[in-house]
Amino acid sequence: MAYSDKVVDHYSNPRNVGQMDKSLDEVGTGLVGAPECGDVMRLQIRVNPETQVIEDAKFKTFGCGSAIASSSLATEWVKGKTVAEALQISNTDIVKELALPPVKIHCSVLAEDAIRAAIGDWKKKNNVAETEGAAVAVAH
Ligand code: FES
């Protein structure tokens, strides 16, 4: 199977690899696994409590090339977005951007799940209602 140039680029030169202190209130951590293959992805965001803008994002993925590329892209995309905007990112956007073949679609789902899990963790820590971001998103 041939990987697209963008997958190869993100895989060979992943952006935002790393880890943040998950005990910090402004950091949300999402840890998700793909039942299909056992690959695991951790994605973290640091959110400005005033503006709800995601100011930094880091990831670490133990998985296939497409999962690494999807999570690398996800960290690039969430940075600078509000939490509500980041929730709008869907795995189909990632599939399109990276031109993933059908057998690799679940790798992009993992990235979407990781974004949602990180935001959910941040919301829980900061007592932000689950629906709050969604309401803002509808208003956009
Ligand atoms: Fe499972 Fe890519 S093969 S995440």
pLDDT digits (tens, 9 = 90+) for 36-80: 899 999 999 999 999 999 999 999 999 999 999 999 999 999 999
In-domain check, residue 112: yes
Estimate the crossing angle of helix 105-125 against helix 132-139, to 10 degrees.
Answer: 110
67 CB within 6 A, ligand 1: yes
In-domain check, residue 140: no
**What total of structural domains would you count in the chain?**
1
CATH number of the domain encompassing residue 13: 3.90.1010.10
DSSP code at position 82: B
C-alpha of residue 105 to centroid of ligand 1, in Å: 8
In-domain check, residue 111: yes
In-domain check, residue 138: no
The ipTM assigned to this model is 0.98
In-domain check, residue 36: yes
In-domain check, residue 131: no
Residue ranges making up the domain that contains 57 = 5-126
Whole-model pTM? 0.91
* Beta strand 54-62 pairing with 40-47: antiparallel
pLDDT digits (tens, 9 = 90+) for 10-21: 999 999 999 999
